[in-house]
Amino acid sequence: MEKVIIICGIYSFLFGIFHLFFWRFFKWKKDLAKLSQVNKGIVQILNIQLIFFFFSMAFICFFFTKELTETRLGKVFFIVNSGFWATRIINQFMFLKMNDYRVHLLTFIFFIGFILFLVPVVY
C-alpha cells in the first residue's frame, strides 16, 4: 500500500507543477485581461491555492506514509482526496461542455486520481 501512497504523492506533485504553468499554457496574460480586476484576481488566487494544495498533498503522502496507512485520519485523507477528484470530474461535465480530446484526456486523468486515492480506503 505504501507504493500506492507514493504514487498518489507523485500524482499530486505533478498536478502542482502543471498548475504552475497555467499562466503560460492558457495565455492568461492576454485572456485574463478581458476579465474584471476582481475576477482576474479570483482566478489566479484559486490557481495559487490549488498549487499549494497539490504540493501539500504530495508532502503528506511522501513524509507521512506510515501514518496514512495506520490511522482513521489516513482513511479520511484518502476519502477527501478521492472526493476532490470525483468532484473535478463532475465539474468537467458541468462547465466544459466541449467535445475536445484534451477535455476527455483530462477527465480520464482525473478518473485515475479518483481511483488512486480510493485504493488505500478500499484495501
Q: pLDDT per residue over 54-95, tens digit each? A: 999 999 999 999 999 999 999 999 999 999 999 999 999 999
| Cell triple for 74 | 489516513
pTM: 0.93
What is the per-residue pLDDT for 84? 98
What is the per-residue pLDDT for 22? 96
Q: pLDDT per residue over 2-59, tens digit each? A: 999 999 999 999 999 999 999 999 999 999 999 999 999 999 999 999 999 999 999 9
- Nearest partner of 60 among 116, 117, 9, judged by Cα: 9
Q: How far is CA 73 from CA 10, 57, 79, 112, in A?
A: 20, 14, 10, 22
First to last CA, the chain: 8
